[in-house]
Structure 1
């Protein structure tokens, strides 16, 4: 399943996620944002259960913004899991 999410409060403009039927992350692609960081996050979460990634990333803050690209990924994963 492919899911696209428009993040809020961060530099990234879009997050594209591919999950298998068991909620395992097959691919994450950030559009915009800090390329090195978002590429690194994408590689680190590949093959992980979405629930595990959500629990690790959901409260990360970027420079007092109240959110971050990793936190937005957690929100996107929560929404994507609702559609499986």
Structure 2
């Protein structure tokens, strides 16, 4: 299932997430720091939504209460919930 998440409070503006069940299969960021946004998908693809939330949920960036990683954790949860409704 493919899901597009509009980010809040980060330089990236959108995250496209593809799940297979509760496993992250594909991640693509739009906007943001190019290096980080290429690295993050490589680190989380193949993990479950719960593992992504545990590893990168709650991370802040430059004094902001969120980060691209935190927004990805939220996007994964939103994608999973949408697939179950």
Aligned to 1:17: 17
Aligned to 2:80: 81
Structure 1 residue 52, shift from structure 2 partner: 0.4
Q: What are the Cα deviations for residues 15-45 of structure 1, in whole angstroms up to 9, with x where unaligned?
A: 0000002x11110000000011011001110
Matched, 1:68 2:67: yes
Any idea what SS the aligned residue of 1:47 has?
A: coil
Could you list the runs of 5+ residues in structure 1 that have no partner in the other structure? none
Q: TM-score, normalised by structure 2?
A: 0.93
Could you list the runs of 5+ residues in structure 2 that have no partner in the other structure? none
Any idea what SS the aligned residue of 1:8 has?
A: coil
> Deviating runs (4+, > 2 A) in structure 1?
none
Aligned to 2:37: 38
The count of residues paired between Structure 1 and Structure 2 equals 83
Matched, 1:4 2:15: no
In 1, the alpha carbon distance for the partners of 2:11 and 2:25 equals 23
In 2, the alpha carbon distance for the partners of 1:76 and 1:62 equals 17
In 2, the alpha carbon distance for the partners of 1:46 and 1:75 equals 15
